[in-house]
Chains A and B, each alone.
Chain A
């Protein structure tokens, strides 16, 4: 079975500061890894994904994440956040050939002016 742990339920940060949202997963098989963003009263939008290849993946809105197999982590980073990045971020895993996601409990990013 797969599981996802997002260690921080809330992350407050000032505008233009860097941010890291942490995600750890457990799985006995190879997985695909994803970060989704959810703005208030909206559905999920894909930020970025790791399927294979380079462990550093870049996504939309200046976000990037690094896959670390030995630490089973997939932390999300942005060097300089904006007010508009205020949202909830979900880490998710899915097995290859298995169209089903396991989501973490989410991290609320609150960017302050």
Chain B
């Protein structure tokens, strides 16, 4: 059973560019959350998707947007990249029906470097 997968593993972009990160949830999971982990900090919640809609959002600007597809996979898009967007981006999946956070599984992350 594949766990949560993310692609790409690493990414280098320049300021002002746009980036798309991808996440495939664990088999059977239908909810995807995205977190940003800046260097030396704990992960910060960006947003969560369920039934192809964003239903929770953390304190992140509109430059951060997402999408969930019918197969439950998800994308995180960041526009007009800033140096401060350099971070490890983590995806976590869970099953809505359980409504229990301990069922969340994290992917290995995508390391984004903005130059």
Contacts and interface: CB of A to CB of B under 8 A. Distances in A.
Interface of A: 4, 6, 32, 34, 36, 41-46, 49, 51, 90, 92, 94-95, 97-106
30 contacts: A34-B102, A36-B106, A42-B108, A42-B109, A43-B4, A43-B106, A43-B107, A43-B109, A44-B43, A44-B90, A49-B102, A51-B102, A90-B43, A98-B101, A99-B31, A99-B94, A99-B96, A99-B99, A99-B101, A99-B104, A100-B33, A101-B43, A101-B101, A103-B35, A103-B42, A103-B43, A103-B44, A105-B40, A105-B41, A106-B41
Contacts of A92: 42
B109 A100 contact: no
A105 B42 CA distance: 4
Interface residues of B, number: 27
Given A43-B106, A43-B108, A49-B102, A101 B48 contact: no
Interface of B: 4, 31, 33, 35, 40-45, 48, 56, 58, 90, 92, 94, 96, 99-102, 104, 106-109, 111
